[in-house]
């Protein structure tokens, strides 16, 4: 039974049959393999985001985590869901930009120094001005990546921004759940 669950995960993600960590879960009779399969399906089947938005969010987290297997999966799914090349490129750029911002602002937050706060960041962020994805969705992806990277200052800022565009907590929660589950499955892929 657990082998079938593993095979379903492998097939769904388009992976090779050999996966040591998933095999360890099967060999150790870990019921968690069932959880991860259901969590992944449920996280991407959300009420407050379109399927395309959910998969673009997953792609941003896969890029952020440098997970080539999940990047490949999400790029394919996004294309099937009619995401344009410009949208996919912007998601990839957003993950990269937020990685820089998250390190920078997390440092400022940790150190809590007026001197560092007064020095300009000098990090170019032109893609934030007129995002192809629209401001609300760009901010939502930025929030998800910031949460994955653990930047409290960025999370608070992007959450406030997403709400300012009229999005509610449930949409935000869906994006964070996607980030959480994509990160958890990434830990099992070699």
Catalytic residues: 151, 154
Run of H or E including 44: helix 32-44
Q: Report, in this order, helix, strand and coil percent for the chain, each rounded to 5.
A: 75, 0, 25
**Residue 161: how many CB atoms within 10 A of its CB?**
18
For 17-41, letters b (16+ CB in 10 Å) and e give: eebeebeebbeeeeeebbebbebbe
């Amino acid at each position: 039974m657990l082998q079938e669950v593993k095979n379903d995960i492998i097939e769904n993600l388009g992976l090779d049959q050999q996966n040591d960590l998933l095999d360890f879960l099967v060999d150790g009779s870990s019921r968690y393999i069932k959880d991860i399969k259901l969590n992944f399906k449920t996280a991407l089947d959300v009420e407050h985001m379109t399927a395309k938005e959910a998969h673009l969010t997953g792609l941003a987290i896969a890029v952020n985590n440098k997970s080539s297997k999940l990047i490949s999966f999400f790029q394919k799914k996004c294309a099937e869901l009619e995401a344009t090349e410009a949208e996919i490129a912007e998601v990839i750029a957003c993950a990269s930009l937020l990685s820089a911002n998250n390190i920078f602002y997390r440092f400022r937050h940790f150190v809590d120094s007026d001197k560092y706060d007064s020095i300009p960041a000098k990090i170019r962020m032109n893609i934030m001005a007129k995002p192809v994805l629209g401001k609300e969705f760009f901010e939502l992806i930025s929030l998800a990546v910031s949460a994955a990277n653990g930047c409290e200052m960025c999370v608070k800022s992007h959450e406030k921004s997403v709400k300012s565009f009229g999005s509610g907590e449930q949409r935000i929660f869906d994006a964070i759940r996607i980030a959480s589950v994509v990160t958890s499955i990434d830990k099992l892929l070699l």
